[in-house]
Amino acid sequence: MNVAKLHAPEPAGTALPTDLASLEAWFDQRLDEKLAQREAEHVPTLAIIATKGTMDMAYPPFILASTAAALGWNASIFFTFYGLELVKKDLGLKVSPLGNPAMPMKMPFGPDWLKRINMPIPTLAANLPGFESLATRMMSQTVKAKGVPSIQELRDICVESGVRLVACQMTVDLFNYRQDEFIPEIAEWIGATSYLGEARKADVCLFI
């Protein structure tokens, strides 16, 4: 709170209370008004740390960031480790049923009763050659059938709406990536220390 603003001179003709109780009530009112004004002028911020590089885990950061931007928030996404796959020029994202027991497999076509069934994925089936590609195709068809934007479309929406995309330079060096493998809309190539300073000030910070 800016004390100088709180104690700024009142407009001409405004008489300050003289008794202590009235003066305290006046200061309380002024404080409430200033706090309400600051809250009204505050722009919420969202910081997301994206660490996963699969198709199913690409949706949460882009959906949340684009939604925040649509609400007028300042949003940013820090892509680190496998999350860097989400900002490559060539998106080759897949769905991996292996190690993802909560993942429901849904039929993207057929009668409604069939599309509502959650099909459990046995560990053995997830290891079969070609099963990952099958799961990816089914997920892509389901998303398309429901009218949900693709990852490419969601990423474009984030770029167009001003979401700040930040890449982890340490991970780029670790995996011997080249910066020209990634989309040109990346705002910065920084380390965790720099982004954590930004995330610390955010109203909402999410790790995905």
Q: Break the chain into its structural domains and give their ranges.
A: 45-207
Nearest to 158 by CA among 75, 56, 47: 75
| Cβ atoms within 10 Å, residue 62 | 23
Average pLDDT along the chain: 80
pLDDT, position 137: 75
pLDDT, position 107: 56
pTM over 0.75: no
What percent of the chain has a predicted confidence (pLDDT) above 70?
68
**Which residue shows structure tokens 């089914």?**
138
Fold of the 45-207 domain: Hypothetical Protein Ychn; Chain: A, (3.40.1260)
Contacts 24+ apart (CB under 8 A), 105-113: 105/135, 105/138, 106/138, 106/142, 107/138, 108/138, 108/141, 108/142, 108/144, 108/145, 109/141, 109/145
Mean pLDDT within 52-71: 94
Helices within 42-121 (DSSP H only): 55-70, 112-115
pLDDT, position 136: 72
pLDDT band at 92 (very low <50, low <70, confident <90, very high): confident
pLDDT band at 193 (very low <50, low <70, confident <90, very high): very high
With 0-12 / 13-18 / 19 or more C-beta atoms within 10 angstroms meaning exposed / middle / buried, residue 138 is: middle
* 178 vs 182: CA distance, rounded Å: 8
pLDDT, position 1: 45
- Model confidence over 129-178: pLDDT tens digits? 556 676 777 777 777 777 888 999 999 999 999 999 999 999 999 999 99
Q: What six digits make up the tokens of 58?
A: 């690409």
